Structure formats: C-alpha cells, structure tokens
Amino acid sequence: MLNIAVLVSGSGSNLQAIIDSVEKGEINGKIVTVVSNKPGVYALERAKIHNIPSCVIESKGNLHFTSQLLKHLKENNVDLIVLAGFLCILKEEILNQYKNKIINVHPSLIPSFCGDGFYGLKVHEAALNYGVKVTGATVHFVNEVTDGGKIILQKAVEIKDGDTPQILQKRVMEQAEWIILPKAIKMICDNEIKED
C-alpha cells in the first residue's frame, strides 16, 4: 500500500476525485497528507471533512519552501506525490529524490497548451483562442521540463460552440481529469506502469 501526498493550490476538485476513489476502495494506497502552498484554499477544507491530515507550506516569499516540503514528505514516508492543481514548480532537489514518483494532471492534451505559464483557466483560454475542436487532459510523470515528463494517461474532450473558458474547464474536469487522475494513481499503486 503506497503512502500518497496530494499537493494542491486551489479548490481541490481533483483531490476530491482521489479521495472518493480511495474511499471506494479502488486505490491500493492511503492519502497520508494534503499539502497546500497557499493558505485558506478549499482543498484544505475537503481534507478536513475526510479526516486527512493537511498542512500549509507557503511558497510565496519562502526561501525554505523546498527544504520544508522535503522534510514533511520524509516525515510522512511518502511514496507517491500527486500534483492535483498544484500551481508551483518543484525544484530539482525534490525531483531528484522522488524520481518517477511524482505525477501531475494537466488540463490539455500535452503537447498542446502546456509548459510555463499554461495553468488553470489560461490553458482553456488558449485552446479556445486557437480554435481547436478537441481538447482534454493528461496525467504525466513530472521531470525538470514543465509538463514534459512521460505521459501516463490522456482523455479527449469535445469543444462546443459557445464554450467559455469556465464552461470548458468544467467539462474537461468532469469528463477527463476526475477520471484519469484516480485511474493513473490506481495503476501506479497496482504496479502497472513502467517508469520513465
């Protein structure tokens, strides 16, 4: 059974999808900690409701963010780090120590609309501005290239006439992210994925 840390920065709807899947017994792992780099986000509330330990390690203006996060991960014997709407770039020190043990969900079909500066609604704005007819979500391993690690799962989602970034974000979450993120975690916990 893997010890899972979920790192968040916002509403935590992806965290919720993972919690639901764990509670249904689909994932052979345990969420041992939820870490937010921002105080007061709703994801922390979700952890609390489900009796999952959580903490805030602020990234903004914090020179010790990386060492504090590393210490916390070690103390909790974390085997797998899941970035679920975590909008902060992890430093090499963490990537090196958790090689092939960090995954991220990104709200587009990588390699489209990804990399530095593409996060949250900006991704959907870019897809709509470009005029693509299909978008989706990707779960991938995290390496030193932003959104550049090996792809684990992807799922396509249709873009419809009249979509706004908000409408599209909701559809991509419902039809792709909330499905493929728990599924990828399950596959890793079941040792079904060859590492990078």
What residues are annotated to the active site? 106
Nearest residue (CB) to ligand GAR, 74 versus 164: 164
Name which of residues 28 to 87 contact ligand GAR (CB under 6 A).
Answer: 43, 84-85
Stretch that binds ligand GAR, among 8-16, 18-26, 27-35, 160-168 (CB under 6 A): 8-16
As measured in angstroms, the least distance from the Cβ of 159 to ligand GAR is: 15
As measured in angstroms, the least distance from the Cβ of 112 to ligand GAR is: 13
Compute the distance between CA of residue 9 and CA of residue 12 in angstroms, rounded to an integer: 7
- Asked if residue 14 binds ligand GAR (CB under 6 A), the reply is yes
Stretch that binds ligand GAR, among 6-14, 47-55, 95-103, 188-196 (CB under 6 A): 6-14
Nearest residue (CB) to ligand GAR, 48 versus 71: 48
- Asked if residue 107 binds ligand GAR (CB under 6 A), the reply is yes
Stretch that binds ligand GAR, among 9-17, 88-96, 128-136, 182-190 (CB under 6 A): 9-17
Q: Tell me, what amino acid is at 129?
A: N
Peptide bond into 39 cis (omega under 30): no
- Asked if residue 182 binds ligand GAR (CB under 6 A), the reply is no
How distant is the alpha carbon of residue 122 from its chain centre? 16
Q: In terms of C-beta density within 10 A (0-12 exposed, 13-18 middle, 19 or more buried), how is residue 162 classed?
A: exposed
Sign of the torsion angle spanned by Cα atoms 29, 32, 34, 35: negative
Q: How many residues bind ligand GAR (CB under 6 A)?
A: 17
Nearest residue (CB) to ligand GAR, 42 versus 68: 42
- Asked if residue 177 binds ligand GAR (CB under 6 A), the reply is yes
Closest to 102 (Cα-Cα) out of 4, 169, 23, 25: 4
Would you say 136 and 178 are in contact if contact means Cβ atoms under 8 Å apart? no
The DSSP line for 121-155 is HHHHHHHHHHT-SEEEEEEEE--SSTT-SPEEEEE
Alpha helical stretches, state H, the chain: 13-23, 42-49, 65-75, 92-97, 121-130, 165-172, 178-189
- Asked if residue 109 binds ligand GAR (CB under 6 A), the reply is no
Contacts with ligand GAR by CB under 6 A lie at 8, 10-14, 43, 84-85, 105-107, 119-120, 123, 173, 177
